Structure 1
Amino acid sequence: MDQKIFSPSLSQHIEAILYLKAQPTTLQEIVTLTNHSTEEVQEALIQLMSDYAYRNSALEIIETEQGYSLQLQSEYLSLLSNLVPAELNTATLKTLAAIALQSPILQSDLINLRGSTAYQHVSELVESGFIRKRRQEEGRSYWLEVTDKFHKYFEFNQAQTEEE
């Protein structure tokens, strides 16, 4: 049996999906999002899980009945209360990160990426002032973008990203 070598880009793509989804993601969802075969995705997932197991990382990829998840190992969960802003849970922060990376992003694209729970995250983020929504000129979705409060709160330097 030939051992297939996967390009790092498939593993990295899967890793990014699991990070951004922040919830168990089924094999079929990953296949659809990566546009690769089920066999390729399964083999890349096994390789990725193995990589995490051997790299002495605080993160791990686990398989549950609901799907695959990238998560913090249990011994590091106590750090969450000290590092995550009290008003935002981890899933909401990941939604905020997805918005910040793509800002502006259509809400419909965000929901495709993060799942329907992102609707609640968007409401929380608008209410907290980290993002703003504006109606799409043509279409039914909203444009989502980070606000000045986001930049100040996270000490994010806009000029630095514009230079890169």
Structure 2
Amino acid sequence: MDRVAMLEAVLFVADAPVEYRDLERMLGVRHEDVPALAAELSGRLLERASPLEVLDSGEGVFMVLKEEFSDLVYPLVRPEISRAVLRTLSVVAYRQPILQSDLVEIRGSGAYAHVDELVGRNLVARQREGRSYVLQTTPEFSRYFKTADLAGGQERLDTD
């Protein structure tokens, strides 16, 4: 298999620079071969007028989008979700439908802000029920995390 193509595949899915020692192991190459492979990949990307470029720090290699394409793709970029918010989301997904008051008992008062963020991202729907809200994941949750609809046949909540 073409080692440059293998490097491109690794860098394509990496969300951070990949260290030389990891590339050595994954690609089955020596330390001194990594810069040459990175340079070859950089040349191939340039040849095909790719919107991607390779950055080599001397310790790790990363593939990034060229600056001139950033405005084009910005609307599609999803900001990262913090670990705390993901934990709150996992409780909602596992126990749905769940009362927000029950969620706060499980996750603490920070869950209020987490729910606001999740509703804002359209990952969770909330509907008033008495003095609390009922929380449930949305179809966007399933699309975002590439899962089957976790609510199964349950009726979906209206978003607020």
Q: What TM-score results when the alignment is normalised by the length of structure 2?
A: 0.49
Higher normalized helix content (fraction of residues): 1
Higher relative contact order (CA 8 A, sep 6+): 1
